[in-house]
Amino acid sequence: MGVTCVCQVPVSEGKSVQQTVDILHKKLEQLGAVKQGNFWVDCETYHATGNATGQPSKLLYVMHNSETPLSCMALFEGGPGLSADANFDVLMVKLKSHFQNAKGHKVESRGVRYRYCDFLVKIGTVAMSSSARGISVEVEYCACVIPGDCWNLMKEFMQSFLGSNTPELPTVFTSKAEGLSVPVDCMDTMSQYLELFGRVRKQQVLPGSGVR
């Protein structure tokens, strides 16, 4: 577990999602990155069936990450988060009279995992209801857990294959009260994915795009 940065890469003009992903793969391979299996991150949306106060409740997101296959993460947008073991999914089934799963809102990102020295790069196709909606890129610098100590290095590495699409320091780190010197945890990665999925969900469906 190191510092991660998740960003969305726009689909190149005149290209399909898959073609853009292929271009990214090629760039990474030219750099010398090595394919190391696949990855996936998914996100279920739950909404409360109605609380006693009748107020609109926040949506609860339950996420999984192939990097931590025995865990299950529960998050609120911009709010508190929780990592738990896989039994949390079973608990959500028990809670179904209070929290309903919005199946149509399930978002996932799947793709190839590359390793380049101390970096892990995951290029994923973000899909909702089996239609491709965008591209996610996750870069993890495995050798460091303090964002303030390695962000410049990460940025430089990302520029080498993302060019002008290189993102800024993720807000999940900058918004922390303790600053950039606190160690990251897996929830930081998940909130970045959650933010990205949220943006993708609101986005228009790309014309004529199916997954892969």
Partner 1 sequence: MEAPPVSVMPVTGGAINMMEYLLQGSVLDQSLESLLHRLRGLCDNMEPESFADHELVYLLKGQQGNPFLLRARRSLLHPPAPWHLRYLGQPEVGDKSRLALVRNCVDVSASHGLPEVLNEMGFRMDHEFVAKGQLFRKGGMKVVVSKLSRVLVPGNTENTEPLSLSYLVELSVLAPAGQDTVSEDMRSFAEQLKPLVHLEKIDPKRLM
Partner 2 sequence: MQQREEKQLEASVESLVTRVAHLKGSLQSFIYKLENEYERLTWPSVLDNFALVSGQLNTINKLLRNEKTPSYRSQVIIPLLLSPDRDEELAKLTEQRVPVFSHEIVPDHLRTKPDPEVEEQEKHLSAEAARIGPEVAQKQIQTLNKLCSNLLEKLNNPRDDRDSETSALRQNKPSFNPADTNALVAAVGFGKGLSKCRPPGPAAPGHPGQPMMSAGPTLHQVTVAGASGHQPGMGGQVNQQQPGQPGKMPSNIKTNIKSASASMHPYNR
- What is the nearest approach in angstroms of partner 2 to the Cβ of residue 149? 26
Give 55 or 164: the residue with its C-beta nearer to partner 2: 55
- What is the nearest approach in angstroms of partner 1 to the Cβ of residue 129? 10
φ, ψ (nearest 5 deg) of residue 101? -85, 125
Q: Which residues of 116-148 are buried (b: 16+ CB within 10 A; e: fewer)?
A: beebbbbbbbbbbeeebbbbbbbbbbeebbebe
CA atoms of 183 and 147, how far apart (whole Å) = 7
Q: Does 91 bind partner 1 (CB under 8 A)?
A: yes
Give 48 or 153: the residue with its C-beta nearer to partner 1: 48
The burial class, CB within 10 Å (0-12 / 13-18 / 19+), for 70 is: exposed
Q: Does 177 bind partner 2 (CB under 8 A)?
A: no
Q: Does 66 bind partner 1 (CB under 8 A)?
A: no
Give 34 or 84: the residue with its C-beta nearer to partner 2: 84
Among 10, 53, 178, 204, binds partner 2 (CB under 8 A): 53
CA atoms of 158 and 185, how far apart (whole Å) = 21
φ, ψ (nearest 5 deg) of residue 78? 70, 0
Angle between helical axes of 147-162 and 17-31 (0-180°, round to 10): 110
Tokens of 192: 């970045």
Cα 101 from chain centroid (whole Å)? 20
Q: Does 92 bind partner 1 (CB under 8 A)?
A: yes
Give 10 or 80: the residue with its C-beta nearer to partner 2: 80
Considering only 23-31, 38-46, 159-167, 176-184, which stretch makes contact with partner 1 by CB under 8 A?
38-46
Q: Does 174 bind partner 1 (CB under 8 A)?
A: no
Among 55, 97, 164, 175, binds partner 2 (CB under 8 A): 55
Q: Which residues bind partner 2 (CB under 8 A)?
A: 52-53, 55
